[in-house]
Structure 1
Amino acid sequence: MFFPASKVIYFLITPSNLFIFTVLAGLLLSATTRLRRTGTGLATLGALGLALGGLAPLSEALLLPLEQRFAPFPADAPAPAGIIVLGGAVEAGLSEARDQVVVNDAGERPIYLAELARRFPGARLVFSGGSGFIGGGVAEADVISRQADVIGVPRTRLILENRSRNTYENAAFTAALVQPKPGERWLLVTSAWHMPRAIGCFRQAGFTVDAFPVDYRTRGWSDLTRVNGFASDGLLQLDLAVKEWVGLAAYRWSGYTPDWLPGPEPAPAPGSASR
């Protein structure tokens, strides 16, 4: 029930949808009832939400705490035992229909799968991504399997997890599939704004991973002083940010993550035994 319920609830509370529904409800009240003042207030509230959400740096204020939570992966870090890349970047239906890789705004995920495969030739490569649609569909992992040569990933090295529908299942199914050994270092590649929830899910699954954040949507804290040139851009980012914060709360309440906002694990105290 969690998966279909999350889709329906998110559709209803997505800020851009909610603002539009508020405007329409206000106009309907004003035109068809005696509650004209209430209707006008609702319509004004919805229009103000669209304007502020689209033009003001509201989305940046919500995204920055997520994207700044984990530092970029050090360039001089030792080679990991394996690399896990989460789905969410491949438009599986379009890719299937057009017989080529079609990516969305998170396209850095498969790009860095290829880069890390080249950089760490001995690491195991895992791509975790099924279908995110209710009722099923083409799995992202299956598209990646067929188009591995196009994105520059050796197909013979790929370990594919094609059943997961959300981040919780990414972690649970991947942990069961690869069964990491104690002491192994694995990298987790996903969008910077999605990294806290993803790290939390993997920790809850008993799988210790290091963050390799990609797909940044902000440049840094200076973005709080900027305004958006296009309202559509701001609303797109706001929808994304609200979805992620709601997802963090829902996952914590459901027991899918150990913390409200998972972050880096504290460094061990001097002289303490390493895990």
Structure 2
Amino acid sequence: MFFVLSKVLWFLTAPSNLLLLLVLLGAGLALRWPRLGLGLSAAAGLTLLVGGLSPLASLVFGPLEDRFPAFRDDGAPVAGIVVLGGAVETGLSAVRDQMVLNDAGERMIALGDLARRYPEARMVFAGGSGRLTGDGAVSESTIVRRHAASLGVAPDRIAYDDKSRNTRENAAFSAALAKPKPGERWLLVTSAWHMPRAMGCFRRAGFTVTAYPVDYRTGSGAVALHATAGDGLFELDIAVREWLGLVAYRASGYTEAVFPGP
């Protein structure tokens, strides 16, 4: 139920969708109440423009990405590596018979890089299908298994979680696959903006991991304008979704803090 509700509610509350719906609602209201309708459309349209072109997305992203520091190898042995899905376009990958990545593709780059740097480390890839209608959907794990060699990794070196649909399930199913021993160091690879929620879920699952954030959207302390409103709104949608996800996961008991930190 949580999975279905999260998908439906997010469609309605994503800033770009919500503001566009308000523009359309205002246009409809203007047929009967011109001042109210036009005012609502104008306000929503202006907010769309500001949200898309202003530094707002950078300001919302910053605290998420800076919560966990970048990983620095201190020489301690790495027993294993968990890479979270979310970077593979499964439909296109299946149709084109190659691994097609989205804007979070750095997760897969890190998978190949870490496999090379730590040849003795065990590896887990956590990626089922996030589609609301999962029947017949190709999982990310299926695609990665087919094309892991293109990343320089032997497919049978990776343990695949092909059932998880969200971050909570990523953590629970990865823990079941990895069965980490006390004192082992496991790296967790995901986007920097997603790391707080991911770390909270892994802690809740009893799986102690070290953050390995990738896929940064902002520079350190930087506030950036966007060249197109589409770019800014895309980034704003991601950041707002993550903040809402943090609140929802804490309210549901999936994490022990609203904003997990180091």
Equivalent residues of 2:57, 2:235 under 8 A apart: yes
Q: Structure 1 stretch 152-161 or stretch 11-20: which is displaced more?
A: 152-161
Q: Percent identity?
A: 57
Q: Summarize the alignment of residues 105-184 of structure 1 with structure 2, pairs less than 5 Å apart.
A: 105-136=103-134, 137-184=137-184
Structure 2 residue aligned with 1:244:
242
What displacement does 1:89 show? 0.1
Displacement of 1:66 in angstroms is 0.4
2:19 alignment partner AA: F
Q: Residues 208 and 95 of structure 1: is their aligned pair in 2 closer, same or farther, counting only changes over 3 Å?
A: same
Q: In 1, Cα distance between the equivalents of 2:149 and 2:257?
A: 39
Residue in 2 that maps onto 1:272: none
Q: Give the aligned partner of residue 262 of structure 1.
A: 260
Deviation digits for residues 63-92 of structure 1, max 9, x if unmatched? 000000011100334231100000000001
Q: 1:39 to 1:77 in 2, by over 3 A?
A: farther
Extract unaligned runs of 5+ from structure 1: 265-275
* Contact map agreement 2:58 2:222 (CA 8 A) in 1: no
CA distance in 2 between counterparts of 1:105 and 1:6 reads: 21
Which residue does the alignment assign to 2:26?
26
TM-score normalised by the chain length of structure 2: 0.97
How far does residue 260 in structure 1 lie from its aligned partner after superposition? 0.5
2:99 partner SS: coil
Q: Distance in 2 between matches of 1:69 and 1:256?
A: 19
The Cα of 1:48 is off from its aligned counterpart by: 1.2
Superposed, which structure 2 residues align to 1:1-275 within 5 Å?
1-30=1-30, 32-33=31-32, 35-136=33-134, 137-223=137-223, 226-264=224-262
Shift of 1:222: 2.4
Give CA deviations for 1:155-187 in whole Å, capped at 9, x if unaligned: 221111110000000001111122111111100
| CA distance in structure 2 between the partners assigned to 1:220 and 1:15 by the alignment | 25
Question: 1:11 & 1:44 partners in 2: Cα distance?
Answer: 22
Amino acid at match of 1:78: A
Code of the residue aligned with 1:8 in structure 2: it is V
Deviation at 1:261, TM superposition (A): 0.4
What are the ranges of 5 or more consecutive residues in structure 2 without an aligned counterpart? none
The letter for the 1-side match of 2:86 is G
**How far 1:234 moved relative to its partner?**
0.4
| Partner-residue secondary structure (3-state), 2:187 | strand
Following superposition, the deviation at residue 93 of structure 1 comes to 1.0
State the 1:21 CA deviation. 0.6
Give the secondary structure class of the aligned counterpart of 1:221. coil
Residues 129, 140 of structure 2: 8 Å contact kept: yes
User: What displacement does 1:40 show?
Assistant: 1.3
TM (norm. structure 1) is 0.93
Q: Report how far residue 26 of structure 1 moved.
A: 0.6
Q: Distance in 2 between matches of 1:79 and 1:119?
A: 11
What secondary structure is seen at the aligned counterpart in 1 of 2:35? Answer: helix
Quote the Cα distance in structure 1 between the aligned partners of 2:153 and 2:247.
35
- Give, in whole Å, the separation in 2 of the partners of 1:57 and 1:237: 10
Identify the residue that residue 273 of structure 1 maps to in structure 2. none
